[in-house]
Amino acid sequence: MNKTLLVLRHEVITILTRPSFLFAMFGIPLIGAAIFFIASQLNKTNPSQNVLTQLISNPQAVAAEGYVDQSGIIKEIPSFVQRGTLISYPDEASASQALANGQISGYYIIAPDYIQTGKITAVRKNFNPIASAGQGAALEQVLRVNLLGGNTQLANLLNGPTNMDLQSLSQAPQREESNLLTFFLPYAVTMLFYFIILSSASLLLSSVTKEKQNRVIEILMVSVTPRQLLTGKIAGLGLVGLIQTIAWVGTGRLLLAQSSILFNLSSAFQLPASFLIWGLIFFLLGYAVYASLMAGLGALVPNMREASQATILVIFPLIIPIFLLSVLINDSNGILAIILSLIPFTSPVTMMLRLSAASVPLWQIILSAVLLAATAMLVIRSVARMFHAQSLLSGQPFTRKLFFDALLGRA
């Protein structure tokens, strides 16, 4: 027992004193905080004075654009168009002259057979092919009004009700579909979990392989049993991962609480305290499954390079939810999401995604956690069998068959 603790202490100290790890632990929350700060700055109501906004927007151009109406549809310019932004020219030559003189930034030619074909040619100085850029959207609306005989009100109503009153009958707080955070909050939580589980599981792989590659393991085997080594490593690196999770999730919650003031968020975006607890449970269980698989991998591969190629075998189920991320966020209580959050290998990441996207029925959370725990126990047991002196000391090449045979206890 004493030796297990020794291994544990050694692992924790080695990792915690590594600069790259410290950077990941404190640097990433700091970067996240910086991005949040910038985003909240951008979100403020007065964008015109913002340096950042100026940096990412086009240089100021002449807002006015011209049009040449060859079809004779436009009889009047409705009052909603700002005066002087849409100027009429009798022919293309004069419009092109005005463009060259810099009076307008572009002009539209409305084809004579516009009603039949809908053809408009836009000539733009900066060639921005997005059709509604510039005054394009305004011109379309002007055309609509004139096609409807000058009925501005009717033309406006064609875009849907002008005065819409939204009302929800359900008690649960609702998230606005249009708010960016509706998508980005689950996205960030999922990526965070993916990285935490993956990185702490990979730590285990690299520590086992490294010791195997530089033959330290031969000396270790003299005084420690493989079982002690495995337990010590899993517990030690798990502890490190836990510290990291707490640091990251804690900052995340803090930032979110801050941002609800900055962004005027409704309470639907607050992650409840139970989220933190479930987060810890799913991290620990997910870590136990993936870390022991990685340790098994580490016990079988002869060197680092083969190890990194073989990891794809193990992490593949973890990647599936990442691939389907946008589908899952869009429909976080759909069938696909429920299935993926119950299957033990995809559940740690998927369940955190669902918890951050919407409310999840309690029975699903508990069922998923129980299934995951059972899997973790099975995996740890079979990996412990893999972790014996013979495979640790041999240099035999790694194959997929070898790994699965050993996992299922056939080797």
- Tell whether residue 101 is a contact of other proteins (CB under 8 A): no
Return d(Cα 229, Cα 232) in angstroms, integer: 5
Nearest Cα to Cα of residue 269 among 350, 192, 175: 175
Should residue 59 be labelled a site residue for other proteins when binding is judged by CB under 8 A? yes
> 221 vs 268, which CB is nearer to other proteins?
268
Decide if residue 116 touches other proteins (CB under 8 A).
yes
Tokens of 19: 């600069």
Interface with other proteins includes 335 (CB under 8 A)? no
For other proteins, which is the closer residue by CB, 54 or 394? 54
How many chain residues touch other proteins (CB under 8 A)? Answer: 64
Our CA dihedral for 288, 290, 291, 292, rounded to 10 degrees, sits at 80
Q: Which residues between 126 and 165 bind other proteins (CB under 8 A)?
A: 126-131, 136, 140, 143-144, 147-148, 153-154, 156-165
Token digits of residue 33: 């905080």
Closest contact distance (angstroms) between CB of 77 and other proteins is 17
The window from 98-106, 221-229, 261-269, 397-405 that contacts other proteins (CB under 8 A) reads: 98-106
Q: What's the CA gap between 331 and 199, in Å, rounded? A: 28
How far apart are the C-alpha atoms of 297 and 82, rounded to whole Å? 68
What single letter denotes the amino acid at residue 259? Answer: S
For 358, the 3-state DSSP assignment is coil
> Which residues on neighbouring strands pair with residue 302, listed in sequence order?
none
Nearer to other proteins, 333 or 382 (CB): 333
Exposed / middle / buried, residue 68 (Cβ in 10 Å: 0-12, 13-18, 19+): buried
* CB closer to other proteins out of 35 and 389: 35
What minimum distance in Å lies between the beta carbon of 334 and other proteins?
7
Q: Cα 346 from chain centroid? A: 16
Residues 40 and 302: their CA atoms lie apart, in Å, by: 49
Q: Which stretch binds other proteins (CB under 8 A): 7-15, 171-179, 190-198, 400-408?
A: 171-179
Smallest gap from Cβ 151 to other proteins, in A, equals 10
Instruction: Tell me how far, at minimum, the Cβ of 306 lies from other proteins, in Å.
Output: 11
- The nearest distance, CB 147 to other proteins, in angstroms, is 5
CA distance 324 to 320: 6
Nearer Cβ to other proteins (25/336): 336
Q: How far apart are CA 93 and CA 123, in angstroms?
A: 12
* Residues binding other proteins (CB under 8 A): 54-59, 99-100, 106, 108, 114-131, 136, 140, 143-144, 147-148, 153-154, 156-170, 174, 176-177, 304-305, 308, 323-324, 326-327, 330-331, 334
